[in-house]
């Protein structure tokens, strides 16, 4: 097998560029590796890369830490290793170097697997995030089948979800159910059994895949219990993709537009480098060797904050409030006035601003592009209002003068499409985000264990200690 790879590589090196690409694609499309095999190939390369980099550059400085950074939420400090994606303030997110439009071109989508729809599959994004490579459609199909086979919930988790009061926020229910799955954690069991540190990544990967497979059923059961919608039993069709099954479970199986939207939404919300609250939380909690269920449960609780993932529910409530006040055909003046009333009341405009980005979020643009290509969304008054607002709000926020980034972030767009397709229960919207964030946060947890990263423990300072320090 190894010599075959070397021979292919040597043969390719002698070919012209176009032929090289064709040959690599032929190999790619012939490949039917399992995800675990693909990760097993990547792990030793990453371990070697880290070892070499550390020994050659371990003493290099990545910048000063200013008092302002300590007080200001550590903005901009380079203090985390994160493999899946990198966020640039002026160009946006790239996943292993690929922008969202790149991913839309190369990642296998619904149509490639013979499913209805065109959008890229979250399974493809998961593969890319875990391995750094674009999977073949056969590999994605194999992964979809694996996820479908592992998707059913154990009955004790069903009972836990059924015991939650309907009035408990769906995100609290989500985090509770995810945490409870640690009952069957392979990592926790392996640690108890004393497996070697070099082996930790393997049960971490097993747990991560198991959890990603079960998130749709947890989310769908919560939806059914709280809002009475969906199939009620979380039936899984082994021939469907992860989101095809999820859409069916929440009652949208016949709605091709909604199912495809959910695929796009869940693929592009997956990863946003490591410093955002949910991803960082998963990494931090995981650094104590808490298993993937516990780590991701904690991440979901961070995602449930209104300045982070909950902003998508906030946006919808805010936009509907505006629609009620100014009517369905709001003018730019009406929207401006409503924006100012929000700002003057001391509240933030949900869906605008970002801790890193200094441009319109490319995820917002991808979701807007989806709206533009779907006839059923073109005449939607709520979609139109959200799009009109995205043109007016930057000027108002600039004039207001506080927000460093006056442009829309992903949360500005995500909810109005769900609403238009009939999923009107906005307190549920962040749960959908929560299905997605796992495909970015959990691959990093696998990498954390593969690279043997230590427990995270930054130094904190009291104000008195800081004052004494700067006086020295």
Ligand X SMILES: O=C([O-])CC(=O)C(=O)O
Nearest residue to 414 via CA among 394, 436, 396: 436
| 356 contributes a contact to ligand X by CB under 6 A | yes
Residue with tokens 């408990």: 168
Among 355, 366, 385, 431, contact with ligand X (rule: CB under 6 A):
355
117 binds, among ligand ACO, ligand X, none (CB under 5 to 8 A by kind): none
206 noted as active-site residue? no
Whether residue 386 contacts residue 412, with contact meaning beta carbons closer than 8 Å, is answered with: yes
Span of 110-118, 351-359, 440-448, 458-466 interacting with ligand ACO by CB under 6 A = 351-359
Residue 448 found at the interface with ligand ACO (CB under 6 A): no
Alpha-carbon span 233 to 223, nearest angstrom: 11
Q: Is there binding between residue 437 and ligand ACO (CB under 6 A)?
A: no
Nearer to ligand X, 148 or 300 (CB): 300
Closest CA to 225 of 428, 419, 423: 428
Q: Write out the DSSP string of 225-245.
A: HHH--S-SS----TTS-HHHH
How many other CB atoms are found less than 10 A from the CB of residue 30? Answer: 9
Question: Which of 33, 221, 263, 272 is in the footprint of ligand X by CB under 6 A?
Answer: 272
The reply to whether 308 belongs to the active site is yes
Q: How far is CA 300 from CA 40, 179, 457, in A?
A: 28, 10, 21
Piece in contact with ligand ACO (CB under 6 A), picked from 11-19, 158-166, 200-208, 304-312: 304-312
Q: Which helix (H) or strand (E) holds 94?
A: strand 92-95
| Residue 349 contact among ligand X, ligand ACO, none, beta carbon within 5 to 8 Å by kind | ligand ACO
Is the Cβ–Cβ distance between 436 and 269 less than 8 Å? yes
- Distance from chain centroid for Cα 184: 24
User: Which tokens hold the place of 148?
Assistant: 């479908």
276 contacts ligand X (rule: CB under 6 A):
yes
Q: 390 is in the binding site of which of ligand ACO, ligand X, none (Cβ under 5 to 8 A by kind)? A: none
Q: Which is nearer to ligand X, 103 or 355 (CB)?
A: 355
Kindly determine how many residues on this chain lie close enough to bind ligand ACO according to the rule CB under 6 A.
20
Under rule CB under 6 A, residue 355 binds ligand ACO: yes
Question: Which of 354, 361, 400, 464 does the annotation list as catalytic?
Answer: 354
Instruction: Please give the positions annotated as active site.
Output: 308, 354, 411
Positions touching ligand X (CB under 6 A) are 272, 276, 355-356, 409
Positions touching ligand ACO (CB under 6 A) are 307-309, 311, 343, 348-355, 402-405, 409-411
């Amino acid at each position: 097998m190894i010599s075959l790879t070397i021979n292919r590589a040597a043969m390719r090196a002698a070919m012209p560029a176009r032929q090289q690409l064709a040959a690599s694609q032929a190999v790619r499309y012939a490949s039917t590796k399992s995800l675990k095999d693909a990760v097993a190939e990547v792990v030793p390369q990453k371990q070697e890369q880290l070892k070499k980099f550390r020994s050659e550059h371990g003493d290099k400085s990545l910048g000063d830490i200013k008092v302002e950074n300590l007080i200001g939420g550590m903005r901009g400090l380079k203090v985390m290793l994160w493999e899946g994606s990198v966020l640039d303030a002026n160009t946006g997110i790239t996943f292993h170097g690929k922008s969202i439009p790149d991913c839309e071109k190369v990642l296998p989508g619904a149509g490639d697997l013979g499913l209805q729809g065109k959008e890229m599959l979250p399974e493809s994004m998961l593969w890319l995030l875990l391995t750094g490579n674009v999977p073949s459609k056969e590999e994605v199909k194999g992964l979809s089948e694996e996820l479908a086979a592992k998707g059913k919930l154990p009955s004790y988790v069903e009972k836990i979800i059924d015991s939650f009061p309907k009035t408990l926020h769906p995100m609290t229910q989500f985090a509770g159910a995810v945490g409870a799955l640690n009952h069957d954690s392979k990592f926790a069991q392996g640690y108890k059994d004393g497996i070697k540190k070099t082996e930790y990544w393997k049960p971490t990967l097993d747990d991560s895949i198991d959890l990603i497979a079960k998130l749709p059923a947890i989310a769908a059961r919560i939806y059914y219990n709280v809002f009475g919608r969906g199939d009620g039993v979380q039936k899984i069709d082994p021939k469907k993709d992860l989101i095809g099954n999820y859409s069916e479970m929440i009652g949208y199986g016949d709605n091709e537009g909604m199912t495809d939207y959910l695929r796009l939404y869940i693929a592009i919300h997956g990863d946003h480098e490591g410093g955002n609250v949910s991803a960082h939380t998963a990494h931090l909690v995981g650094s104590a060797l808490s298993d993937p269920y516990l780590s991701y449960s904690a991440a979901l609780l961070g995602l449930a904050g209104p300045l982070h993932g909950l902003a998508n529910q906030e946006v919808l409530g805010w936009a509907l409030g505006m629609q009620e006040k100014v009517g369905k055909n709001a003018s730019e003046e009406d929207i401006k006035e409503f924006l100012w009333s929000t700002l003057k009341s001391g509240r933030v405009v949900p869906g605008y601003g970002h801790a890193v980005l200094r441009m319109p979020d490319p995820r917002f643009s991808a979701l807007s592009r989806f709206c533009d290509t779907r006839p059923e969304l073109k005449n939607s008054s709520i979609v139109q209002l959200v799009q009109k607002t995205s043109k007016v709000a930057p000027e108002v926020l600039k004039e207001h003068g506080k927000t460093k980034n006056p442009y829309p972030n992903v949360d500005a767009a995500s909810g109005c499409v769900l609403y238009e397709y009939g999923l009107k229960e906005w307190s549920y919207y962040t749960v959908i985000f929560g299905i997605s964030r796992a495909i970015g946060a959990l691959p990093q947890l696998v990498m954390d264990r593969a690279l043997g990263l230590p427990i995270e423990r930054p130094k904190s300072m009291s104000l008195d200690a800081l004052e004494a320090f700067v006086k020295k």
